[in-house]
Amino acid sequence: MRIVLLGAPGSGKGTQAKKLVADYGYPQISTGDLLRDAVARGTEYGLQAKAAMEAGQLVSDEIVLGILKDRLAQPDTSAGFILDGFPRNLSQASSLEEVLAEIGQPLDAAVLMDLDFDILFKRLTGRRSCTGCGRVYNIHFLPPPADGRCESCGGELVQRADDKEETIGRRLEVYQKETAPLVDYYRELGKLKVVDAEGSFDEVYARLVSALGL
């Protein structure tokens, strides 16, 4: 099963992907991780990416796709893979289709983890992280103890800078502008599957597995 996971920040696609990996053995492929690894190993594409980043430029889609193509040539992807974080826009999606066709591994499905934006906003802005052990609470859905301290270690709970309302608003705006059009793109290709991402982890995971026919 070859899958692209779509969904706004806070939709739960990352945690659901990890469960799919554990249950079915498909490798979860993050282009961000691949990029960092290629740079660290000094591969041809990694050196190109490093040069771009050191010059203060964005890493081109051509470089990212080259790194991705190398990764998909590894034996562990023969039964399938889960792409997380790529594509992010229509141009990348079109290029990805060409690369996958070239290597004979076309996508089986693009899965949208669908969640109301009001809930997404509360999930993200409501997060509070323990400075001691890293445990995460949510003031809306998983409230911390009344004393405002972590019940695991007694540490202070803080809101990370990237979870503040202004930052979250910008992230959701970027998603809506650039990534949301992918939904229509994959629908037209007949590959879109929509999963209701509201509810408990187990409930959402059951819907995801059902949608994929696993």
By annotation, the residues acting in catalysis are 13, 88, 127, 160, 171
For the chain, list the strands marked E by DSSP.
2-6, 28-30, 81-84, 109-114, 127-130, 136-138, 157-158, 192-196
> How do 136-138 and 81-84 pair as beta strands?
unpaired
Phi first, then psi: give them for residue 3, nearest 5 degrees: -130, 140
Angle at 117 between CA 116 and CA 119, to 5 degrees: 70
In three-state form (DSSP H/G/I as H, E/B as E, the rest C), the secondary structure along 129-177 is EECCCCCEEECCCECCCCCCECCCCCCEEECCHHHCHHHHHHHHHHHHH
- 8 — alpha (psi -120 to 50), left (phi > 0) or beta? beta
Of 111, 36, 24, nearest in space to 76 by CA: 24
Q: Cα–Cα distance between 64 and 61 in angstroms, integer?
A: 5
